[in-house]
Chain A
Amino acid sequence: MYPTYMGDIYKAVPPAIKRGSAELAVLSLLARESLHGYQIAKQIEQQTGGALRFDAASLYPVLYGMEKRGWVRGEWERAGGRRRRYYSITAEGRKKLEPLRAQWRDFFRALNRLAGVANA
């Protein structure tokens, strides 16, 4: 399970693209501030106007995968009377962010050239 996007249409998108979009979304948020998992899910939902949503079962495998690759780092902190695992972007993650953005820009440009998505 990856982010829900525009209802059922997203189900047809290949997993690699879903995972890539999830990683871009998470890295973009963490480049601004450290957040815990729920805050990441909420901010993605709010900032995409509800078009992109993570549930818990989708979010954490993505976060753990990025942590394993050294793009983000999770640290336990106490907040609101409860321990939370805050994620922050690492130097490696920052290095990865720009190429990821460029890849997605190229991807949408190519899709636009092919299907005229922007003018549809």
Chain B
Amino acid sequence: MPDWEQIVTERLGRLRLSPQARREVISELAAHLEDQYSEACAAGCPDPLGETLAQLAGWESLGTRIRQTREDPMSYRQQVSIPGVVALVFSGVSQILVLRGLVSWQRSNHWDYPAQSATLLWLFTFVLAGSVGAAFARRALAGPRRRLLAAIYPSFLMPVIYVVVWVVSRFSSGPGILPLLGLWLTVTVACALGALPWMFGASRSEQPQPPATA
């Protein structure tokens, strides 16, 4: 009897699902082929293996279609929201630390740091936060699009803050909406830059999995 699970595993190739969902799909397809093969043998088919393998024609796109239909609805939370919140917290904490560090440095050294350097440092915290978000998303088996979403998650909160700032600024001489929008775009790009190292390469689910067991 051929090892159908091994055959299905090889044919499906990269199947971006959680390991458990992947094992279930492989086990189910293997059982189907095994039934097909047994029936072909019982019917006296001269080439039962060939007939069964003919079922595997057109499997090139099957992995994609299975992934589209088997994705766990919870996975968005696991792959985007949770890594995104981790990135957001990281971003907040790192900004507080940078700010305190700069103030402390300024007080102790009586040094006026250039505004541009402080801004760059501030932006760099978003690059790091984006990197953290994308890394966690990748670890949660997310695809590139979800890694990017998790990376730019910290910038999602900024429009809310900016609306508040903008409303307050209408009663004072604060910044207008356009500079705030530009700042938001800059932060989003900084976060996305942080995701770059995690956008390429195989996620855990793309690595070879052990064959499913019955």
| Given A57-B55, A57-B56: A83 in contact with B32 (beta carbons within 8 A) | no
- From A61-69, A98-106, A110-118, the one touching the partner chain is A61-69
Say if the beta carbon of B85 comes within 8 Å of chain A: no
Query: B69 contacts A64, CB within 8 Å?
Result: yes
Residue A85 contacts which of B24, B71, B73 (CB distance < 8 angstroms)?
B24
Which residues of B lie under 8 Å from residue A60 when comparing CB positions? 25, 28-29, 32, 62, 66
Say if the beta carbon of A5 comes within 8 Å of chain B: no
Residue B70 contacts which of A1, A56, A64, A84 (CB distance < 8 angstroms)?
A64
- The A/B interface has a contact count, at CB < 8 Å, of 60
Query: A56 contacts B214, CB within 8 Å?
Result: no
CA A63 to CA B25, docked complex, whole Å: 12
Closest A residue to B36 by beta carbon equals A38
| Given A38-B31, A38-B32: A56 in contact with B24 (beta carbons within 8 A) | no
Say if the beta carbon of B35 comes within 8 Å of chain A: yes
Query: B32 contacts A1, CB within 8 Å?
Result: no
Say if the beta carbon of B57 comes within 8 Å of chain A: yes
Interface string of B40-77 (1 = CB under 8 A from A): 00000000000000111111001001101111010000
| Chain A min CB distance to B39 (Å) | 8
Which residues of B lie under 8 Å from residue A82 when comparing CB positions? 31, 34, 214
Say if the beta carbon of A37 comes within 8 Å of chain B: yes
Query: Secondary structure of the B side of the interface?
Result: helix
Say if the beta carbon of B18 comes within 8 Å of chain A: no
Residue A56 contacts which of B33, B69, B73 (CB distance < 8 angstroms)?
B33
CA A61 to CA B27, docked complex, whole Å: 15
The total of chain B residues at the interface (CB under 8 A) is 26
Which residues of B lie under 8 Å from residue A38 when comparing CB positions? 31-32, 35-36
| Given A61-B62, A61-B65, A68-B69: A37 in contact with B56 (beta carbons within 8 A) | no
Closest B residue to A69 by beta carbon equals B69
Say if the beta carbon of A94 comes within 8 Å of chain B: no
List A42-60 residues whose CB lies under 8 Å from chain B: 55-57, 59-60
Query: A68 contacts B31, CB within 8 Å?
Result: no
Residue A57 contacts which of B34, B59, B214 (CB distance < 8 angstroms)?
B59
Closest A residue to B73 by beta carbon equals A68
CA A37 to CA B26, docked complex, whole Å: 13
Query: B65 contacts A83, CB within 8 Å?
Result: no
List A3-60 residues whose CB lies under 8 Å from chain B: 36-38, 41, 55-57, 59-60
- Counting chain B CB atoms within 10 Å of each CB, the highest count among A55, A56, A60, A82 belongs to A56
CA A57 to CA B55, docked complex, whole Å: 7
Query: A65 contacts B58, CB within 8 Å?
Result: no
List 13 A-B pairs, Cβ < 8 Å. A38-B32, A38-B36, A56-B55, A56-B56, A60-B29, A60-B32, A60-B62, A61-B62, A65-B68, A83-B27, A83-B214, A84-B28, A84-B31
